């Protein structure tokens, strides 16, 4: 199928490459010319496992093009909207200006029978408003809301083999036509019996934000338990293992630690609360305020723990921070708990040396005052304390004996509960973690 994808960020670049790989003819469009230049050369503008290989192989088929001109969407039958919806400055609500601009810029290039497919995460009500705009410009064009559930670090896998497909249609009972066209786009996944839910716009929009709200709540639930564990000497990791064995609860997303961050969960729960307020149902989501607060307290608690292991004051203490990205296998530092803690430590007088396998450059752009280095050896040399703030595989597998020769003091704070305390203590380390004795 002839497809255009408007927006080539974490979502759109991966979506473009995956659709081309699946056999479609795709043009990815973005107003950022640097991003387009990099994608044209087959280089991913951000770190995402599998994406460079996919850009190369899809590029070689001739089915994947990139452009900075929306006019190049002309001729495509399906147009995906994959631009960002960041948090508005100084407000909880989502900023829809990029979505609105993307749809507006596309209107002159739509042909009869085209389908516009929204993938961006938007406040409920947006799709219906955009559908009116699109049909006013051309009454034969329809709009589908098809939320995306990809996780950074697994974006390629999640796009090719999603858990489920959700199509929000203007009139799901009366005219399901656009669903059949979208089925052709996702023929591969559907052949593997991926569940597909056809619904109205509002439900489709809410599926996405409520899924993220649930995930955020699950993380904050276990982090709230970690606070109670800290007050009682219990171990939150064993607690999570034990409750997770109940199938109704499940162990995934019950990793206590520094909490959630990134470009999605924090801003999505805030935008959801803001939208609920506009709809007069703010009480229904007031618990998300607590979810947000529990999450933010973890960052402060981690700084307090650092102060504690440094003997009551951070001033002049040399602290090695391992991990700056908001999660492993990503170079994304948007609302990263790790970078937030590193910055707080530095601002409170510690001499922080931070490192990360992929996120050093992005972290430097966001927080230029931090001293960032390339390797674990450089970061930890003569350190008074080592802090693991993002659970990259290379940090989970660190050898405590090897690291013990480099540091100044064998003190480690495991901000992600990703190390085995017994192994580290047996190697002579003082081990501290959130929610564990």
Tell whether residue 151 is a contact of ligand UDX (CB under 6 A). yes
Q: How far is the CB of 164 from ligand UDX (least distance, A)?
A: 11
Q: Catalytic: 418?
A: no
Tell whether residue 259 is a contact of ligand UDX (CB under 6 A). yes
Of 42 and 147, which CB lies nearer to ligand UDX in the complex structure?
147
* Interface segment toward ligand UDX; rule CB under 6 A; list 27-35, 129-137, 262-270, 315-323: 262-270
Of 318 and 327, which CB lies nearer to ligand UDX in the complex structure?
327
Of 141 and 215, which CB lies nearer to ligand UDX in the complex structure?
215
Q: How far is the CB of 379 from ligand UDX (least distance, A)?
A: 20
Residue of 170, 255, 302, 355 interacting with ligand UDX (CB under 6 A): 255
Q: State the CB neighbour count (10 A cutoff) for residue 95.
A: 16
The residues, ordered by sequence, that sit 6+ positions from 193 with a Cβ below 8 Å of its Cβ are none
Cβ–Cβ under 8 Å, residues 357 and 392: yes
Residue of 8, 64, 150, 166 interacting with ligand UDX (CB under 6 A): 150
Q: How far is the CB of 426 from ligand UDX (least distance, A)?
A: 27
259 φ/ψ angles, rounded to the nearest 5 degrees: 95, -175
* Interface segment toward ligand UDX; rule CB under 6 A; list 59-67, 91-99, 230-238, 250-258: 250-258
Query: Would you put residue 418 in left (φ > 0), alpha (ψ -120 to 50) or beta?
Result: alpha
Q: How far is the CB of 259 from ligand UDX (least distance, A)?
A: 5
Tell whether residue 47 is a contact of ligand UDX (CB under 6 A). no
Of 264 and 310, which CB lies nearer to ligand UDX in the complex structure?
264
Q: At what angle do helices 201-232 and 286-309 cross, to 10 degrees?
A: 40
Site string for ligand UDX, 327-346 (x = CB under 6 A): x-------------------
Task: Look at strands 351-355 and 411-414 and give their pairing.
Answer: unpaired
* Interface segment toward ligand UDX; rule CB under 6 A; list 58-66, 212-220, 286-294, 313-321: 212-220
In order, the DSSP letters of 71-120 are GGGTT-SEEEE----PBPTTSSSB--HHHHHHHHHHGGG--TT-EEEE-S
Which residue is catalytic, options 8, 18, 264, 310? Answer: 264
Cβ–Cβ under 8 Å, residues 19 and 156: no
* Interface segment toward ligand UDX; rule CB under 6 A; list 52-60, 186-194, 261-269, 308-316: 261-269
d(CA 380, CA 402): 11
Tell whether residue 117 is a contact of ligand UDX (CB under 6 A). no
d(CA 146, CA 172): 13
The residues, ordered by sequence, that sit 6+ positions from 141 with a Cβ below 8 Å of its Cβ are 110, 112, 113, 114, 115, 116, 134, 135
Tell whether residue 215 is a contact of ligand UDX (CB under 6 A). yes
Cβ–Cβ under 8 Å, residues 263 and 334: yes
Nearest to 326 by CA among 407, 260, 228, 422: 260
Q: How far is the CB of 264 from ligand UDX (least distance, A)?
A: 3
Of 168 and 261, which CB lies nearer to ligand UDX in the complex structure?
261
Of 259 and 354, which CB lies nearer to ligand UDX in the complex structure?
259
Cβ–Cβ under 8 Å, residues 58 and 17: yes
Tell whether residue 219 is a contact of ligand UDX (CB under 6 A). yes
Residue of 106, 134, 165, 265 interacting with ligand UDX (CB under 6 A): 265
d(CA 188, CA 199): 21
Cβ–Cβ under 8 Å, residues 296 and 329: no
Binding footprint of ligand UDX on the chain (CB under 6 A): 148-152, 212, 215, 219, 253-255, 257, 259-262, 264-265, 326-327
List the catalytic residues.
264
């Amino acid at each position: 199928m002839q497809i255009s994808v408007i927006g080539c960020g974490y979502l759109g670049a991966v979506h473009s490459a995956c659709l081309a790989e699946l056999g479609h003819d795709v043009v990815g469009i973005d107003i950022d010319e640097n991003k387009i230049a990099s994608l044209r050369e087959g280089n991913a503008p951000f770190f995402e496992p599998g994406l460079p290989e996919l850009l190369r192989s899809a590029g070689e088929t001739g089915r994947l093009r990139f452009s900075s001109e929306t006019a190049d969407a002309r001729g495509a039958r399906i147009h995906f909207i994959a631009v960002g919806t960041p948090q508005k400055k100084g407000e909880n609500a989502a900023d829809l200006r990029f979505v609105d601009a993307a749809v507006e810029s596309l209107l002159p290039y739509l042909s009869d029978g085209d389908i516009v497919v929204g993938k961006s995460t938007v406040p409920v009500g947006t799709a219906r408003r955009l559908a009116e705009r699109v049909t006013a410009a051309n009454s034969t064009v329809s709009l589908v809301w098809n939320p995306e559930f990809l996780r950074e670090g697994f974006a390629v896998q999640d796009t090719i083999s999603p858990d489920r497909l959700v199509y929000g249609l203007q009139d799901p009972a009366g005219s399901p036509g656009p669903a059949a066209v979208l089925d052709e786009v996702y023929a591969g996944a559907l052949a593997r019996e991926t569940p597909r839910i056809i619904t109205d716009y509002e439900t489709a929009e809410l599926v996405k934000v409520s899924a993220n709200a649930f995930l955020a709540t699950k993380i904050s639930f276990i982090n709230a338990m970690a606070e109670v564990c800290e007050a009682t000497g219990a171990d939150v990791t064993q607690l999570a293992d034990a409750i997770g064995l109940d199938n109704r609860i499940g162990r995934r997303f019950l990793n206590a630690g520094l909490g959630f961050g990134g470009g999605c969960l924090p801003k999505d729960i805030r935008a959801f609360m803001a939208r609920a307020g506009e709809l007069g149902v703010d009480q229904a989501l007031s618990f998300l305020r607590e979810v947000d607060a529990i999450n933010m307290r973890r960052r402060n608690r981690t700084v307090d723990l650092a102060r504690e292991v440094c003997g009551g004051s951070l001033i002049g203490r040399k602290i090695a921070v391992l991990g700056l990205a908001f999660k492993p296998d990503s170079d994304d530092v948007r609302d990263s708990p790790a970078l937030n803690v590193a910055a707080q430590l530095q601002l409170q007088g510690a001499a922080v040396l931070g490192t990360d396998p992929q996120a050093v450059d992005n972290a430097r752009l966001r927080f230029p005052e931090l001293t960032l280095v390339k390797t674990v050896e450089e970061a930890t040399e003569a350190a008074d304390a080592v802090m693991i703030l993002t659970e990259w595989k290379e940090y989970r597998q660190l050898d405590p004996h090897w690291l013990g020769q480099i540091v100044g003091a064998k003190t480690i704070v495991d901000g992600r509960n990703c190390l085995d305390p017994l192994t580290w203590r047996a190697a002579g380390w003082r081990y501290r973690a959130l929610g564990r004795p």
